[in-house]
Structure 1
Amino acid sequence: MPFLPISKQEIQALGWDEPDFVYVTGDAYVDHPSFGVAILSRMLEAQGYRVAILSQPDWHTCKDFTRFGRPKLGFLVTSGNIDSMVAHYTAAKRTRSDDLYSPGGRAGKRPDRAVIVYCQKIREAYGDVPILIGGLEASLRRFAHYDYWDDRVRPSILLDCGADLLMYGMGERSMTEIARRLKAGEPVASITDVRGTCFAVPTSQYIPRPAKECPSFELVATNKREYAVAARIQQDEQDAVRGKTIIQKHGKVILVQNPPSPPLAQAELDRVYELPYERAYHPIYESQGGVPAIKEVEFSITHNRGCFGACNFCSLAFHQGRQITCRSEESVLLEAKKLTKSPRFKGYIHDVGGPTANFRLPSCKKQKELGLCKGKKCLAPTPCKQLQVDHSEYLQLLRKLRALPGVKRVFIRSGIRYDYLIEDPDERFFKELVTYHVSGQLKVAPEHCAANVLDQMGKPHIEQYRRFSKRFYELTKSVGKEQYLVPYLMSSHPGSTLKDAVELAVFLKKEGVRPEQVQDFYPTPGTISTAMFYTGLDPYTMKDVYVPRSPREKAMQRALLQSFKPENRALVLEALKKAGRSDLIGFGPGCLIRPDQTVTAGKKTEKTGGKRGYGARKPQKKRKR
């Protein structure tokens, strides 16, 4: 099946008078199921709708937005796969030099706050045409939210952009119902009961319904305690089984969020991933160097959705939800067989994963009727006693994928929850993971080692990582391989003091881990951690949380995690003295840095720094210590 039309000429060649929907996106057009635009556009196509793609339009005038004429049913608008502000700026608010979702990886092809800008241009061009917004940027900004880049609370993006409806979360169900009702002639203003959507209505016209009320925009914009209260309500009701309608006043308007849309059943999810995707970027980008974002996912397979891990800094639980849904074994194998037929396929399936690769079961048996527990986590700080841990279904799937003709290796790169894996008394999956599915390095995410910081992150304590790490290297040795763990680490998360950062630096030194990259905490919309960053309060306890705010302290915390780098020496020295840990400056094996850059002893000169530049170490080195 060819790509969907991207020009007026292509629409005319198809014999269309007009498209039903024009899908506006801030990403380059990539027809692959890792891209939300591809999924919804192909789904609408399969239901008989005519969809045209308006990719990365020039937002300086209305001209590009009139390329296809006025659509019969409406415009669909998204910033793309990620928030446009995250796409443009680093955690230090510096402008990024590249954009993996744009042709040639070049930045500057979408505006800041893309959803708002695109909607304003559509209104300017067409007035009252129906506009539906969705995707991550809209989903995570659906309530009044703290905006890190403006350093203030902004109103719901629905009110800022002037769209008619906001679809949050995974939009297949809500999009299907809205499209059906628009096609039947129902005015968009009357579509106010679709699950997984938000709408706005004047206070004078609001019809009261059973709902949970958040503190108003005016309150959360001026009172940080009220903001924390609102953040907890929004997170607690993000459940398809027990979630309630939420309302939030914005002046003379009320924002209404209908309860979350139920996740797709397995057969429905199978159909979504079996749609006729080209699994490539549009040929128009070939001369510009292609679209870099396709490289990691072109030969990857998504087998599940949702994440009951629900880390406080991660937006997945607020967007996809915590309930796990997965595709059937037959559907995944069918996709793998299609991959082997591609002339670009070299025999390697890069990933069989999702938000968390090794989740295929609900976290417990009660959630189907009761939903997931409010205010509790399945894995942190310790695994829930009701947790069901079983990798047998995932293991069977991987075995069948490995056995397919034309498949040389099957890797898992999207993230293993080691705290879940280590609870499985059956080690078959662990052993085969180490034997067959690690491409030299396995990325895992302990994030920190200090218990108080991990509690604020919603992560398990470091003992779980130690258990996993020890067993990983034992199994690696037993199969005669040299493989390493690459831990993801985060500096300056709310709750992390300079002393906590020193504790993490000491932990890394003892473990022999030298991380190449360290992620400074990034306060993105819609997470509990961002609420902590803005308010200085834990929304679930209302206790004060220390927040590293100054650029200098953030730089010191980040430098401590890479204390072995000579260029970090001055910052590490400053941090150790400020934290009262001058005992870590010296020549002993536990010291982080030496008093001088070089130490001359006779004719021998020792230099700080290390031999290995990646976040791993040989397992036998640990045993020698």
Structure 2
Amino acid sequence: MNRNFLPLCKKDMQDRGWDGVDFAYVIGDAYVDHPSFGHAVISRVLEAHGFRVGIISQPDWRNKESITEYGEPRLGFLVSAGNMDSMVNHYSGSKKRRRQDAYTPGGVMGRRPDYAAVVYGNLIRQTYKKIPVILGGIEASLRRLAHYDYWSGKIKRSILLDSGADIISYGMGEHSIVEIAEGLDGGIAVEDLIYLDGTVVKVKDLNSVYDAVILPSYEKLQKSPKIYAESFYEQYRNTDSVSGKRLAEPYGEHLYVVQNPPSGPLSQLEMDDIYGLPYMRTYHPSYEKAGGVPAIAEIKFSLTSTRGCFGGCNFCALTFHQGRVIQARSHESLLKEARILTEEPDFKGYIHDVGGPTANFRQPSCKKQLKFGVCKERQCLFPKACSNMEADHSDYINLLRKLRNVPKVKKVFIRSGIRFDYLLEDKDTTFLRELCQYHVSGQLKVAPEHVADEVLDKMGKPRHEVYQKFTKEFTDMNLRLKKKQYLVPYLMSSHPGSDMKAAVELAEYCRDLGYMPEQVQDFYPTPSTISTCMYYTGLDPRTMKKVYVPRSPHEKALQRALIQYRNPKNYDLVIEALHKAGRTDLIGFGEKCLVKPRRLSRKKLNAKRR
């Protein structure tokens, strides 16, 4: 097969001998033809099914002409904000503008608009009134129904309505995008494509929609946080392709947004086929002058082994996007890609990662899932491991062994994160031994996130004692192997449930560990997570019980400062936080104290003595 980039402009299209494209794909990222980029996967999948796709990368949203590069496409426009939600891409958790966009040539910020999918959709509609517009990607997927938007502080409508689009291909999208394309190619009007799994559509009435669960109306969601929490949890319970129901969300009296059940998970053969498509595996050469696209550095020498995650962290949106069923590539597919990596001129012998959302998940958590779907009311690992879960690392171990033996490979790292609670459930310690022996280079990053059990409960994470058990086993294994290796824990401040008492508990843990993280992840309320629902409503949607939520920027700063109490810049904040928590016993000169008392000037000290 002749490998080349897809068209990025009209000249590229003409050089291919095309007189037009079937789909113009408008993306908020630079064009990177690598399977870690959603636009590359979707466009290559469509190409493999015989469709012509032209890329329109980061168009000028202030100019209607910017989306007319190929003229009117034969079948429609595809629209994606990019590999990240555009608002997460642009703003930190404290709503400050970021300085760099890793998905833009040269890392330049400002090449895409806020709420990019909405802006692009409306830009297309200004020029092409009736052309089908299909939304996809993470931004559209996680905003597919009414959702809390942290940046505006409001409940926003389904992105389908605000963008002027006709249909959303949600989730990873390979199944549904092909069905949409074939339907349009077969002459079916886009407004009649209302029945496809993995899609969200809009209808004027429910006469053509059967067996739908009717959600509360958008108007009710705006008025009642409690109703929003109930509606959100109903959506959460219907994210599985086997057990998930069709959902209908009313907007006024004559409009419904209908979410069809999720697409089924990809088979191993489908995964292999998709990752075996003729990607160029890098950014378009036109970006070279700008310095390339920074995001490629993180994934260029990494292997995507799996999709899906049954970890169930409440602050993570993977349940809504990739689902909880693990989908894995074959060893042969991954070995083939590894050999391709070794032929790259800048390959230094190191595979940076072999994983996915969670590296050590290589199979569904139990045999029941593929037939009956994942449990609606229970998690596989939370609050403790389900008795039906099968913790088995043998397939992953064999894969890693094969990759270590690929010629020119010096070392294979695991950087996408492991679930230590799942590792502990495997009574065979082979994986822990080989992890420490071959796949760690001094430090292993893990994500306990917190130490206070009441916060961990709201996070959907295992109790602190589980992490303590893992640290002991990791330390003991390294002693046996005569290696000096350490755990680097990721910690999160200001998550719902974290009051000042819990924040102090986390600071004391850092003190006892002798560890001060250089960076702390402040909880970031992104669309479509249980934690974000808690943040907005003050309720845990799983139980409908009240949750303490630190919302003010100042309280968030106090909690973050406590974790980094050794930083002199945080001194005043730490003092204030300890007073608020009633823990002034931690201000002093004792070995357990976090900070020393404020130094008084000689004049003030003499005055105080008098």
Shorter-chain TM-score category?
over 0.9
SS in 2 for 1:16: coil
Alignment of 1:552-571 (within 5 A): 552-571=554-573
Name the CA distance, whole Å, in 1 between partners of 2:209 and 2:183.
23
Which stretch shifts more, 582-591 or 82-91? 582-591
Matches within 5 A, 1:81-480: 81-203=83-205, 206-251=207-252, 252-480=254-482
Counterpart residue type for residue 591 of structure 1: C
Distance in 2, Cα, partners of 1:99 & 1:597 = 43
Q: Structure 1: which amino acid aligns with 2:308?
A: G
Matched ranges for 1:517-556 at <5 A: 517-556=519-558
Identity of aligned residues (%): 58
- SS in structure 2 at match of 1:312: coil
- Corresponding residue number in structure 2 for 1:603: none
Does residue 1:483 correspond to 2:489, yes or no? no
Alpha-carbon distance in structure 2 between the residues aligned to 1:214 and 1:230 = 6
Contact 1:304 1:360 in 2 (8 A): yes
Distance 1:387 1:573 in 2: 46
What are the within-5 Å matches in structure 2 for residues 54-69 of structure 1?
A: 54-69=56-71
CA distance in 2 between counterparts of 1:99 and 1:208 reads: 41
Give deviations 1:504-561, integer Å, cap 9, x for gaps.
Answer: 1111111222211101111011111111000001111111111101111110000001
Q: Distance in 2 between matches of 1:468 and 1:414?
A: 18
In 1, distance between residues paired with 2:297 and 2:315? 26
**CA deviation string 1:25-82 (max 9, x = no partner):** 0000101110000101111111111110110001101111001100011110000000
Once residues 242 and 529 of structure 2 are traced to their aligned partners in structure 1, the CA distance between those partners, rounded to angstroms, is 21
For 2:438 and 2:11, locate their aligned partners in 1 and report how far apart those are by CA, in whole Å. Answer: 49
- Partner SS for 2:386: coil
SS across alignment from 1:233:
helix
Structure 1 residue matching 2:347: 3-state secondary structure:
coil
Equivalent residue letter for 1:366: K
Q: Deviation per CA, 1:159-183: give whole Å up to 9, x if none.
A: 1101010011010000111111111
Q: Which residue of 1 aligns with 2:578?
A: 576
Aligned partner of 2:605 in structure 1 is: none
Output one character per residue of 1:2-43: Cα deviation in whole Å (capped at 9) or x when no partner.
110101011111111110111110000101110000101111
Residues 391 and 429 of structure 1 are in contact (CA less than 8 Å); yes or no, is this contact kept in structure 2? yes
Q: CA 1:597/1:431 → structure 2, altered by over 3 Å: closer, same or farther?
A: farther
- Report how many aligned residue pairs link the two structures: 599
1:509 alignment partner in structure 2: 511
CA distance in 2, matches of 1:266, 1:466: 36
CA RMSD of the aligned region, Å? 1.3
CA shift for structure 1 position 152: 0.6
**Residues of 2 paired with 1:206 and 1:297: CA distance?**
47
3-state secondary structure, aligned to 2:546: coil
Unaligned runs of 5+ in 2: 603-610
CA distance in 1, matches of 2:536, 2:484: 44
SS in 2 for 1:474: helix
TM-score (normalised: structure 2): 0.97
The AA in structure 1 aligned to 2:59 is P
Correspondence 1:18 to 2:20: yes
Q: Secondary structure at the match of 2:487?
A: strand
- How far is the alpha carbon of 1:186 from its aligned partner? 1.1
- How far did residue 598 of structure 1 move? 11
Deviation at 1:232, TM superposition (A): 0.3
Structure 2 Cα separation of the partners of residues 258 and 557 of structure 1:
41
Which amino acid counterpart does residue 499 of structure 2 have in structure 1? T
**Distance in 1 separating the partners of 2:29 and 2:448:** 31
> What is the letter of the counterpart of residue 463 of structure 1?
E
- After TM superposition, give the deviation of residue 134 of structure 1 in Å: 0.6
Task: Tell me the distance in 1 between the aligned counterparts of 2:146 and 2:241.
Answer: 21
Distance in 2 (alpha carbons) for counterparts of 1:462 and 1:13: 60
Distance 1:518 1:275 in 2: 38
Question: 1:137-159 CA deviation, whole Å, 9 max, x = no partner?
Answer: 00000010010011010000001
Structure 2 counterpart of 1:617:
none
Maintained 8 Å contact 1:168/1:196: yes
SS in 2 for 1:292: coil
| TM-score calculated relative to the size of structure 1 | 0.94
- In the alignment, the residues of structure 2 paired with residue 559 and residue 357 of structure 1 have an alpha-carbon distance, to the nearest angstrom, of 31
Q: Which runs of 5+ in 1 are unaligned?
A: 601-625
Q: Which amino acid aligns with 1:300?
A: S
Cα distance in 1, alignment partners of residues 48 and 600 from structure 2: 67
> What is the distance in 2 between the residues matched to 1:214 and 1:537?
18
Which amino acid is the alignment partner of residue 222 of structure 1?
K
- Indicate conservation of the 8 Å contact 1:206/1:254, yes or no: no
Tell me if the contact between 1:84 and 1:111 (Cα under 8 Å) persists in the aligned partners. yes
